Structure 1
Amino acid sequence: MGLEDDALEYHRRDPPGKLEIATTKPTNTQRDLSLAYSPGVAGPCREIDADPTDAFEYTSKGNLVAVVSDGSATLGLGDIGPLASKPVMEGKGVLFKRFADIDVFDLEVDVGSAEEMIGVVEALEPTFGGVNLEDIAAPACFRVEEHLKDSLSIPVFHDDQHGTAIISGAALLNATDILGKAIDDLEVVFSGAGASAIATARFFESLGVPASGITMVDSGGIVTADRAAAGDVNEYKAEFASDRPAGDLAEAMVGADVFVGLSVGGIVDPEMVAAMAEDPIVFPMANPDPEIDYPAAKAAGEGTTVVATGRSDYPNQVNNVLGFPFIFRGALDARARTINEEMKVAAAQALAALAREDVPDAVVKAYGGEAIQFGPEYVIPKPLDPRVLFEVAPAVARAAIESGTARQQPDLDTYVEGLEARLGKSREMMRVVLNKAKSDPKRVVLAEGNDDAMLRAAYQLADRSIADPVLVGDREWIRSSAERLGLSFTPEVVDLDDEDVERYADRLYELRKRKGVTRREARDLLANGDYLASVMVEVGDADAMLTGATNHYPSALRPPLEVIGTAPDAEYAAGVYMLTFRNQVLFLADTTVNPDPDAEVLTEITRHTATLARRFNVDPRAALLSYSDFGSVDDERTHAPREAARRLRADPEVQFPVDGEMQADTAVLREILTGTYEFSALDDPANVLLFPNLEAGNIAYKLLQTLGGAGTVGPMLAGMNRPVHVVQRGDDVEDIVNLAGVAVVDAQAAKHRQK
């Protein structure tokens, strides 16, 4: 089957289309329904009648965007009418929801003129928080947007005009910087003079390109002042009429610094690119086929050539999904009256700045696994980079506030936390921990400093002020690797040849000489970075350590257990995963360390896990799990969780509710827990789950992660004498940074206990 057949099957599979409406409040009981509709709904109606701004508090208006089209310029299909354009508009809704958690109604309107469309959209203003105009042919699109921006009090945005302008504008900012060109001295040639080209030319002016440096070429050749005077071009093209002589595209491109293609494929040949200025910037963005292919453009330019197209199979894809979801997110959250030029410029600048940052592993993997670094092949972020939301939306909201179009001012210091919550509970929970870490960063030693992921994690920890990282490894190798990876910092490194290593060898010998380790063997053991890092933590030269990126979990855990050991009040360490769902957080233990815990071990690791939950500002409620509910099965396998629960309930120092043994559904479902077992010590579902053995815990967290769609953080090691965490082999940089943040918070708590 080809792509088109696959797409047809994708769209017709039950339920047809790509969108549905889902409820956001409970509708399970008669009372729920009476609150959702009659008679309860009268209350918010009266409040909104008295104060229309209350619609943002009591309805979905503030997070609802209309995607409106007449189908007159649908993708590369032309005027196919409103009904045939519906799959595109539904797709636009998918992108709004997927990337910025914005709800959409797609509205395909059968109108005969720009004035009719204006009337339809104006009549619908009470429903929506914003309007995204889509696939409307020029010049009607200009009239529709201009009128609606004046007449409506909500943001109106024609993505076909401004989306391409903003994304290519971000690429232009970085391309000029890489090539050392001054933006106010550029000669820019546009192939095409439709809505996108005109909006992009206007936006380039907003970024600093002089109007005198812009030449526009349509199917009749260069748009000249003579053509404008003769009425050969419409008023919008006439805005960019040039005083230069008449000519074709090839003549226009001679000596130009920048080519912007928003026309048709295949109309530019290598000779035309070769005739441009040295170090040209070439943006052939016609879809699906660019004006000139990426490889041909790269090869043809003199010097270094920066090329960006609309295609996903080449570097530097100018994809509108980098813009509209996040621009609307910021505009909606500031309740902006409009999306103005300041907000669009802020979006482009935020995108340009993000492209200069280290790229997350998840993004690298999504694009084939090859390194992605700022440079000619990477001047704009990738569309699947989740950080775009956290950079662009706040920049847009700030610009809305500063330019005076905002009707509310979100706290920009905490705004990102709310945005992260929209992308998943795990991000929200980790933000709590990382903010704690930033309040008092600690020294965290990364045992595998020669590993690129550990090195990149160290850079992020330092750059984001989460921790003061120390890398164990070959100093020369690590620092050259930092340069190779484009990491602008000088990492602190402990090398095996450093003088301090002898002191660490002495300490390791003292700790292990009664375990059969000689002084020479102690020195040799330090060649293993896990031992060296462990001793650094044990003697207080570091506050915490991370390892495991290149070793099996048991091998990585052994050195810190031998050197650092468990806490004074602990005999056992435990591995804990935090699993996050849309509205629920669970801590699962033990998932990595203890194979077959007895009642004593279960009792202790329950305490450890509850303490860890509090690090995330979660009040623990613990359940000891089994295949038995409160004695329904009585055999040796149910005794341990039952006895552990009894011990914990009887201990006055345990300041959290705990019960068991119980089945997993009993522990997490309120209707079973409080409906059937009203005697339980838990009056709310458990959020700390203790498994009867390692096998059950490991299976459970992997099933919940894979089939249940849970976000995961961990494994976190609880019960150690000093903060130690062992990442899993293959964990990405974000995982390492998150665990380092947990380690810092652990170290903060340890310091507090010592006072």
Structure 2
Amino acid sequence: MDEDALEYHKTDPPGKIEISTTKSTNTQRDLSLAYSPGVAAPCREIAAEPDDAYQYTTKGNLVGVISNGSAVLGLGDIGAQASKPVMEGKGVLFKRFADIDVFDIELDLDDPDAFVESVAAMESTFGGINLEDIAAPDCFEIEERLRDRLSVPVFHDDQHGTAIISGAALLNAAEIVGKDLADLEVAFAGAGAAAVATAKFYVSLGVPRENITMCDIDGILTTERAESGELNEYNRQFARNGPDGDVADAMEDADAFVGLSAGGIVSQEMVRSMADDPIVFAMANPEPEIGYEEAKAARDDTVIMATGRSDYPNQVNNVLGFPFIFRGALDVRTTEINEEMKIAAAHALADLAKQDVPDSVVKAYGDQPLQFGPDYIIPKPLDTRVLFEVAPAVAQAAIESGAARIELDVDEYVERLEARLGKSREMMRVVLNKAKSDPKRIALAEGTDETIVRAAAQIEERGIAKPVLIGDENEIHSTVVNLGLEFDPDIVDPAGGECEAYADHLYERRQRDGITQREAESLIRDDTNYFGSVMVDRGDVDAMLTGLTNHYPSALRPPLQVVGTADDAEYAAGVYMLTFKNRVIFVADATVNQAPDEDVLEEVTRHTAELARRFDVEPRAALLSYSDFGSVDNEGTRKPSEAARRLREDSDIDFPVDGEMQADTAVLEEMLTDTYEFTELERPANVLIFPNLEAGNIGYKLLQRLGGADAIGPMLVGMDKPVHVLQRGDEVKDIVNLAAVATVDAQDSHS
């Protein structure tokens, strides 16, 4: 591990962070705007109005991670320079999880006065200060003085991070074992910065101060020890008027144990001495006060166990806190991170743990079951939803408590946060909002599948659509119960009373295509794809999703046979929306038509452009080939060329379209404008029509995997009624997104 870590850090370029520009610097004019003489203009504005620094500089998204290296986790007092890898790592986490930029600053200062003066002098640079790895008791004094002095938030993560995350865990652990925080007896091992801050925070959450017994290396903190001068001004507030003792004495009959001390100091016998269904947070790193397996095996009742380690359930990891707390604080320009904001963060984390866990998170943690209960009381760090839950809660608490200098609409704020995580979220938000404005009934053909059931619960909870699960009613209800979902699904069982009418409908539609009445009855009874297709065709539902457990062609066949294509369409096609950091591209056809002729290409272009507009994207279409505007003349190149010509000459087409052209010509502005100035496309294309299925499928997958694009789809266009075919192995979020697309399709068809 050490060798791997050293190689990781020294690989060129050394370290883990770099500075990158956010504005164009390609021309002399760009450089003149970036520096001299253009930079004078924002300087004058800020000189006249200091708060304009948030408008013209990075201050509003820049945090200083500052340390003197006097108490680096697991390493102790290693000095400022040796702590730099840790501070760089903190910057990586800020950027990775909350898109916050960081300057790490290591100050070779042991004197608290000098440290405070140095940090205070940098207030103009930063929107917030994260103090890190500073030894107690200096860390308490430094934070207090800087908070009083600075107008930007100051947060010592070693104190408050552990407090907030373990506080969220405590809220849920107490709920699971049926205990009230006001009745909890809590024993602490450790009396340093993290322990004192955590104990104070538990008091804020509702644990009575007199119910906390704190121990340091010399035993229980007592009033006698405080009066003798053994305790500092910070931990003496938890001194108890009682007998001396050690950690074992403190843990006897305690409801909860909180370890922020040293590894291996707690035995199984000590855990057995605790009250019924004990809560054990052994958070010393890298070795906890007692091992996970040891604590769980110590007794027969419920032991809710948390550690600081990632290889066991319930990891108390500060990364669940500081990036998102600072995100919320920066976005409302708070003057501090106060107790109300910290409490809001803890409750947001606790509430999130009760929600269904995304498939991507489950996969990231080895496909282990993640469901609210003793082994899952706090979210996982890689759960992207933490940003959308914690940052808004912190921002709202800042506004309500008076710490914020600007206000915001929380719903709009969530949308801005989603945009930070990628263009796909921003684009899907457009469709999701449209779907919520008028939810439609959507049939989910594979209704007994666990992933489909979870997706249906989210679709209904978020108000995107009204899901209808097709399948065995008892099996679906059993799945809902096993998943612990608070969801009363709308179920249509093919074995029910609709079977005969649906078989008649299918027979009427397909009797001249080789299907007998008996075969129609069998298909309706045994194949939920046919059942769902008839539901859509009859108007009993507004749309349908299928394909999660079937190959694409077999899933597509029933809706094509029953629902068919629209009146103005002869062909269906599969479209993917590919989102890059600052760009969106729709690609077709990637799933349906193997060797399209000019008629198919023309129609697919029309439908794909219509789809782009549902995402509020004005289409610019390019029909692709391996030649540019006749540079190669053969049967293959003539098809896209002819389709493009027809579209250009069609007076009903109100978007630019051209072709045939090579892919780089279509997407690079300099090639379009410099080499082919005659083209109809004045800007790069955002609708790419591939010449055949093989090229389309290869192309979108290369763009997705090598180009780093997020792919949404395939979205089926050209159908008479909204039907979309999922990909095998799609996750819950993919199903939810496609349900939103189907709902918007249905809204359009009803308008």
* TM-score by shorter chain over 0.5: yes
Question: C-alpha separation between the residues in 1 aligned to 2:279 and 2:499?
Answer: 52
> Alpha-carbon deviation of 1:412?
1.1
Give the secondary structure class of the aligned counterpart of 2:658: strand
Q: Which residue matches 1:339?
A: 337
- Please name the residue that 1:219 is paired with: 217
Matched, 1:205 2:240: no
In the alignment, does 2:11 pair up with 1:19?
no
Residue equivalent to 1:743: 742
**Which residue of the partner structure matches residue 644 of structure 2?**
645
Counterpart-to-counterpart distance in 2, 1:310 and 1:432: 39
Shift of 1:649: 0.5
Contact 2:504 2:517 in 1 (8 A): yes
Output the CA distance in 1 between the equivalents of 2:573 and 2:96. Answer: 36
Once residues 473 and 152 of structure 1 are traced to their aligned partners in structure 2, the CA distance between those partners, rounded to angstroms, is 61
Q: Name the residue aligned to 2:468.
A: 470
Residue equivalent to 1:623? 622
Question: Structure 2 residue aligned with 1:281, among 279, 283, 286?
Answer: 279
For residue 115 of structure 1, report the CA deviation from its aligned partner: 1.0
CA displacement, residues 472-528 of structure 1 (integer Å, 9 cap, x when unaligned): 111000001000011111111111211012111110010011111111110101111
Please give the alpha-carbon distance, in whole angstroms, between the structure 2 residues aligned to 1:378 and 1:56.
39
Q: Given residue 472 of structure 1, which amino acid in structure 2 is its aligned partner?
A: I
Match of 2:164, SS state, is helix
Contact 1:131 1:154 in 2 (8 A): yes
Contact kept, 8 Å, 1:547 with 1:727, in 2: the verdict is yes
- In 1: Cα distance, 2:641 partner to 2:663 partner: 14
- Per the alignment, in what secondary structure is the counterpart of residue 716 of structure 1? strand
For 2:572, the equivalent position in structure 1 comes to: 573
How much has 1:302 moved relative to structure 2? 5.2
CA contact (8 A) 1:278 1:302 kept: no
Tell me what 1:439 maps to.
437
Deviation per CA, 1:87-115: give whole Å up to 9, x if none.
Answer: 00000000000000000000011113111
Match of 2:307, SS? coil
Where 2:713 maps in the other structure, the secondary structure is strand
Give the conservation status (yes or no) of the 8 Å contact 1:327–1:392.
Answer: yes
Per-residue deviation, 1:450: 1.2
Describe the SS at the equivalent of 1:368. coil
Q: What corresponds to 1:723 in structure 2? A: 722
**In structure 2, what is the equivalent of residue 33 of structure 1?**
31
| Contact map agreement 1:277 1:302 (CA 8 A) in 2 | no
- State the Cα RMSD in Å: 0.7
Post-superposition Cα deviations, 1:228-277, rounded to whole Å, max 9, x if no partner, equal 01111111110100112100110111000000000000000000000000
1:195 to 2:187 alignment: no
Q: Distance in 1 between matches of 2:521 and 2:559?
A: 16
Question: For the residues of structure 2 that align with 1:123 and 1:697, how far apart are their CA atoms?
Answer: 57
Q: Which amino acid aligns with 1:612?
A: L
> 2:381 is matched with which residue?
383
Q: Provide the C-alpha distance between the structure 2 equivalents of 1:338 and 1:609, rounded to a whole number of angstroms.
A: 49
Aligned ranges 1:256-655 → 2 under 5 Å = 256-301=254-299, 303-526=301-524, 527-655=526-654
Say whether the 8 Å CA contact 1:579–1:713 is kept in structure 2: yes
Give secondary structure in 1 for the equivalent of 2:488: coil
The answer to whether residue 173 in structure 2 is matched with residue 175 in structure 1 is: yes
Q: 1-side partners of 2:58 and 2:728: how far apart?
A: 43
Report if the CA contact (8 A) 2:60-2:333 is conserved. Answer: yes
Give yes or no for the alignment of 1:72 onto 2:73. no
Q: Which amino acid aligns with 1:187?
A: E
CA deviation vs aligned residue, 1:510-564 (integer Å, no higher than 9, x gap)? 0011111111110101111100000000000000000010000000000000000
2 CA distance for matches of 1:89 and 1:709? 28
SS in 2 for 1:81: coil
**Match for 2:702: what amino acid?**
L
One-letter amino acid of the counterpart of residue 576, structure 1 = V
Q: Distance in 2 between matches of 1:342 and 1:709?
A: 39
Contact 1:70/1:109 (CA < 8 Å) preserved in 2?
yes
Match of 1:113 among 95, 111, 114: 111
Report the Cα distance in structure 1 between the residues aligned to 2:740 and 2:221, rounded to whole angstroms.
58
SS in 2 for 1:127: coil
Give SS of 1:455's match: helix
Q: Runs (4+) of structure 1 moved beyond 6 Å?
A: none
Q: Which residue matches 1:710?
A: 709
Output the amino acid matched with 1:394.
Answer: P
Query: Would the aligned equivalents of 1:714 and 1:727 in 2 still touch at CA under 8 Å?
Result: yes
> What is the rounded CA distance, in whole Å, between the counterparts of 1:118 and 1:327 in structure 2?
23
* Aligned partner letter, 2:360: A
Q: TM-score, normalised by structure 1?
A: 0.99
Aligned to 1:667: 666
SS for the counterpart of 2:627 is coil
Give the letter for the 1:13 counterpart: T
Measured against aligned partners, the alpha-carbon deviations of 1:115-173 in whole angstroms (never above 9, x if no partner) come to 11111110111010000000000000001100000100001000000000000000000
Between the aligned partners of 1:503 and 1:359, the Cα distance in structure 2 is 39
Rounded to whole Å, the distance in 2 between the matches of 1:449 and 1:475 is 9
Separation in 2, partners of 1:739, 1:376? 34
- On the 8 A contact 1:274/1:302 being kept in 2, the answer is no
1:371: Cα distance to partner? 2.1
The CA deviation string for residues 295-341 of structure 1, in whole angstroms up to 9 with x for no partner, is 11112145211111000010000000000000000000010000000
State percent identity of aligned pairs. 70
- Give 1:541's aligned amino acid: D
Amino acid at match of 1:623: A
**2:64 aligned counterpart, secondary structure:** strand
Pairs within 5 Å for 1:692-711 = 692-711=691-710
Cα offset, 1:370, TM superposition:
2.3
8 A Cα contact 1:475 1:494, kept in partner: yes
Q: Is the 8 A contact 1:134 1:159 kept in 2?
A: yes
Q: What residue ranges of structure 1 are gaps of 5+ in the alignment?
A: none
Distance 2:219 2:154 in 1: 32
Aligned to 2:51: 53
1:88 aligns with 2:101: no
Q: Deviations over 1:146-202 (max 9, x none)?
A: 000010000100000000000000000001111100100110010000000000000
Q: What is the aligned partner in structure 1 of residue 3 from structure 2?
A: 5
Deviation at 1:15, TM superposition (A): 0.6
| Residue range with higher mean Cα deviation, 694-703 or 326-335 | 694-703
How many Å separate the matches in 1 of 2:652 and 2:270? 79
Tell me how far apart the structure 1 counterparts of residues 300 and 109 of structure 2 sit (CA, whole Å). 49
Distance 1:509 1:722 in 2: 19
Q: Is the 8 A contact 1:279 1:301 kept in 2?
A: no
> Does the 8 A contact of 2:623 with 2:658 survive in 1?
yes
Q: Deviations over 1:596-627 (max 9, x none)?
A: 11110000000010010011110000000111
Secondary structure in 1 matching 2:335: coil
Structure 2 residues not aligned, in runs of 5+: none
1:153 aligns with 2:161: no
Asked if the contact 1:620/1:656 (under 8 Å) is kept, the reply is: yes
**Secondary structure of 2:44's match?**
helix
Q: How many residues in Structure 1 have an aligned counterpart in Structure 2?
A: 750
Query: Structure 2: how far apart are the matches of 1:499 and 1:239?
Result: 70
In 1, Cα distance between equivalents of 2:545 and 2:110: 65
Secondary structure of 1:289's partner? coil
